Structure formats: C-alpha cells, structure tokens
Amino acid sequence: MSSKPWYREGLSFSCTRCGDCCTGVPGYVWVEPTEIDALAKHLGLSVDNFGERYLRKVGRRYSLIEKPGGDCVFFDKGCSVYPARPTQCRTFPFWRSNLKSERAWDELADECPGIGQGKLFPVEEIEVLKRGKAETPAGE
C-alpha cells in the first residue's frame, strides 16, 4: 500500500480573486506577529493602531475582525491587503481540512472556481503549503 496522499499526482489551482473564500462565512483568519507587522506597514499604521482597528484576541492568538455577515475586514471587491495578506490566505486552498480526502477537495471545488484551473502544484509543494509555509501565494 502506498503512503502517498490521494493527490500524489498534484492538484491544479489558480486564484481567480473571486472572494468566495473571503466572504459570507464567519471564521478566523489567524495572524502571527510578523504578519501583523507586515499588514500594519502595508496600511501605513502603527502595530498598536492596526491591532486596535483590525484584530481580536482569541485565547492566546489573534484573528482579523470581520464585517457584519462574516466578510473579511479587508475584502472590498477584492483583497485590499493582497501583497501583505496572512499565510492562512496565501496557502488557501491547500489546508489540511481541504486535503483530508478527495471528497473534501471536490466539495470545495463546488465553491471555488480556481480549483482545477491553472498551475499544477506537485505533491511536494502541496505538502509545504499544507504545513502553512508560503513565501509566495498559491495559485500564482
């Protein structure tokens, strides 16, 4: 029996910037201190001011706040912080929950028009993204 994941041949994805993953469903967009610094700098704010305006503390972690209805605070007909967006956003759709089974991936494809399009990501790159490591955006 092979120990390779179901996506061993790779998966295609190209972000269409439709915003479906940024809108409509409440949740958490986790941010690390380095990401908070980058977002604050991108917006021309101090870290403290950025935190007061855009962060909520959840336990010992920080998440971006949301607009009413669950939309990301930085989504307005597109991502207003795209170059500085958090790793969680950069690694979508290659999250563990989306990769746990082919069925989970197929269900996500019903909501995300970029799945099955564009660049073929090899399994090795998917594994890096799945671990939440991304220096470049997925799909680009």
Residue 66 carries which side chain, given as an amino acid letter? E
Q: Which of 22, 20, 53 is nearest to 36 (CA)?
A: 53
Helices (H), the chain: 33-43, 47-54, 87-90, 96-99, 102-109, 123-130
**78 φψ region: left (φ > 0), alpha (ψ -120 to 50), beta (else):** left
Contact criterion met (CB below 8 Å) for 73 and 26: no
State the pLDDT at residue 60: 95
Tokens 């220096």, located at residue: 135
Q: Say how many C-beta atoms besides its own lie within 10 A of residue 96's C-beta.
A: 10
Which residues of the chain fall below pLDDT 70? 1-2, 133-140
- Diameter of the chain by CA atoms? 54
pLDDT digits (tens, 9 = 90+) for 15-25: 998 899 999 88
In eight-state DSSP terms, residue 31 is E
**83 φψ region: left (φ > 0), alpha (ψ -120 to 50), beta (else):** alpha
State the pLDDT at residue 140: 47
State the pLDDT at residue 136: 52
pTM of the model: 0.84
Question: Which two three-digit tokens encode residue 85?
Answer: 């967006």
